[in-house]
Amino acid sequence: MHQTQDAPATAPAPHSPRRWYDDTVGYQVYVRSFADTTGNGIGDLPGVLAHVDHIADLGVDFVWLNPVYPSPGFDHGYDVADYRDIADDMGGMAAFEELRDALHARGVRMLMDIVPGHTSHTHAWFRSARQGRDAPYRDFYVWRDPAPDGGPPNNWESVFGGPAWEFDDHSGQYYMHRFLPEQPDLDWRNPAVRDAFDDILRFWFERGVDGFRVDVAQGMLADPDWTDIPEIDPDLPPDEAADLRFSGYMGRPETPELYERWRRIADSYDALLLGEVYLSDPDVVATYITDDRLHRAFFLPLQHTTWDRDQVATRLRRAVEVAQGRFAWPQSSHDDPRAGSRFGGGDRGRRRAMAFFHLVGALPGTPVMLAGDELGLDDGQVARLDAEDPITTRNADREDGRDGSRTPMPWDPDLPNLGFSEVEPWLPLGSNRGADDTVTVQEGDPDSPLHRMRRFLAARRGLVGMLATDEVAWLDLGDDVLALRRGDVVVACNFGSATHLDLPGTGRLAVASSDDAAVTGTDLALGRDTTALVVLEEDA
């Protein structure tokens, strides 16, 4: 007898009318690492344009571009010097417009990255603010007097290591920086800052941008009492410990309200706001995606899962329930290890990563992959001496740098640097990269990850009508299997050995992440590390 382990998640009121971003799949392009056309070893927008057919042929619905604004590059674009322009080394505004038009012509939307929590220290606002305590843009940033001993105002740590405060000799005050000292934090309690970003959103929406991924969306406001962070229990789970360590300036309960005015602006352009809300509690993340705030938010604890059925199940079940179809499910990103590495690396990690994407891609919400996930890439292996990430280069004791997931895209084994650039890339390709990782080789292999990803996205598109409900019932089909039913579709992910599962009705196999899946009547034969989507053909 088949029983649900949890009550079905409550479905939200249906969208009226449905928007373009419902039932979509996203594709993240870390532009610096996608393709170089200028011969400087750094990817650029013309490089994305050169491969726009590859993106469209995948079957994704929107592309999210990492920052391409003018920047001194201390954090590779996340230190923005001008929010209203495109960097020359990225191709300038003309390249942006050409890429926008090319994507739109292929039915693919374009999202840009917006970085509202901080600017570059070279931004005109901060250059003005440093001129003195009465400078015109002084109150755009967070300034505090020193503690009685002359040190920082409190014990807050920077995410990138060291104190979250930098002393300014000229004015005798500290300014706050959640990340690098070269990234001074904006003061979102100042209405003038909010007005400035309203104008920035409109500037890009008027130029045809279809939405924004909001960087560190939970990190806009700081504790107004500037309270020290208490000592952290070393036995806390890592995600919970991080929430507490940075709680002085991350996840403040009043932060979600900031997005209500953004939502009104975005809706007037039928644009998407996709938040990077880096918090571990799905109930808290869900407060950012109410009807009048962000449209979607990433559920980022997924990027810290191992290949463990119970761990994945625990994180997904509550998230699916509270999100009501509004979470984005990340496969990988530029900030965390790729799924292939998290799940064991090599062929095993590649197989598991494909199974994982088939699983989350069938959930209510928005699956998003990082460029290279369609090739089954794990992290590129980069020696510490070649590191570029400031987490690594500025902290001798930290090994959690992000370079591995940012290594350049491998296109063609017969071209220099696997087709990424004619010159040495800004970041090594990775000592583990080979011909089988490239787009060209995988194009010629119908069993490659590239073709499996295309088949899955095509099948998913064909099932959208059956998956239109946000109601999910979790099924008990075996101890090593995470299974759910959504409408007439059963999704089963096998974390263990090959097995046979008893389906709740006669079905047909719609698509699977490997060849080790077959349906005969009510029997699903499912291989190890494999996810299958089965359409039920009669009532169960």
- Segment 9-26 shows an average pLDDT of 66
- On the question of pLDDT at 2 being above 90, the answer is no
Residue 476 domain flag = no
16 pLDDT above the threshold of 70: no
**CATH number where 35 lies:** 3.20.20.80
Residue 271 lies in a domain: yes
Strand 489-494 with 530-536, pairing: antiparallel
**Residues 138, 255 within the same domain:** no
Is residue 7 domain-resident? no
C-alpha 299/C-alpha 275 separation (Å) is 9
Do 143 and 270 have their domain in common? no
Domain endpoint, select from 432, 457, 482: 457
- Residue 17: what pLDDT? 59
Residue 339 phi, psi dihedral angles, 5° rounding: -55, -40
- Give the list of residues 6+ apart from residue 474 with CB closer than 8 angstroms, or none: 4, 5, 6, 313, 317, 483, 484
* Minimum mean pLDDT range among 254-268, 396-410, 430-444: 396-410
* Active-site annotation holds for 480: no
Residues 153 and 112 in one domain: no
- Candidate list 23, 61, 79, 276, residue with the active-site label: 276
Of 437, 457, 477, at which residue does a domain stop?
Answer: 457
Pair 214, 261 in one domain: yes
pTM of the model: 0.94
Q: Which of 375, 353, 276, 278 is nearest to 34 (CA)?
A: 375
157 plus 250 within the same structural domain: no
Could you read off the pLDDT of 377-390 as tens digits, one per residue?
A: 999 999 999 999 99
Q: Among candidates 518, 498, 469, 519, which has minimal Cα distance to 9? A: 469
| HSE (side-chain half, CA atoms, 13 Å) at 330 | 29
Q: What is the CATH number of the domain that holds 154?
A: 3.90.400.10
State the total domains in the chain.
Answer: 2
Residues 165 and 279 in one domain: no
Per the structure, the complete domain to which residue 139 belongs is given by: 124-176
The reported pLDDT for the residue numbered 315 is: 95
Q: What is the CA radius of gyration of the chain?
A: 23
Q: How confident is the model at residue 539 (pLDDT cuts 50, 70, 90)?
A: low
Query: Is 412 found in the same domain as 387?
Result: yes
Q: How many angstroms separate the CA atoms of 369 and 367, rounded?
A: 7
381 and 415 part of one domain? yes
Average pLDDT over residues 406-410: 98
On average, the pLDDT of the chain sits at 94
Same domain, 302 and 354: yes
Q: Is the dihedral of CA 377, 383, 387, 390 positive or negative?
A: positive
Token pair of 110 as six digits: 């374009």
Residue 14 has pLDDT above 60, yes or no: no
**Angle formed at CA 90 by CA 88 and CA 91, multiple of 5 degrees:** 65
* Catalytic option among 215, 243, 336, 389: 215
215 is annotated as an active-site residue: yes
For the segment 75-115, what is each residue's pLDDT rounded down to a tens digit? 999 999 999 999 999 999 999 999 999 999 999 999 999 99
Q: Check whether residue 377 and residue 245 sit in a common domain.
A: yes
- Examine the domain organization and report whether 241 and 287 are in the same domain: yes
**What value does the mean pLDDT take over residues 322-326?**
93
pLDDT mean over 340-346: 96
Any domain includes 479: no
- Report pLDDT digits (tens) over 261-299: 999 999 999 999 999 999 999 999 999 999 999 999 999
Domain final residue, candidates 434, 457, 480: 457
Q: How far apart are CA 316 and CA 424, in angstroms?
A: 41
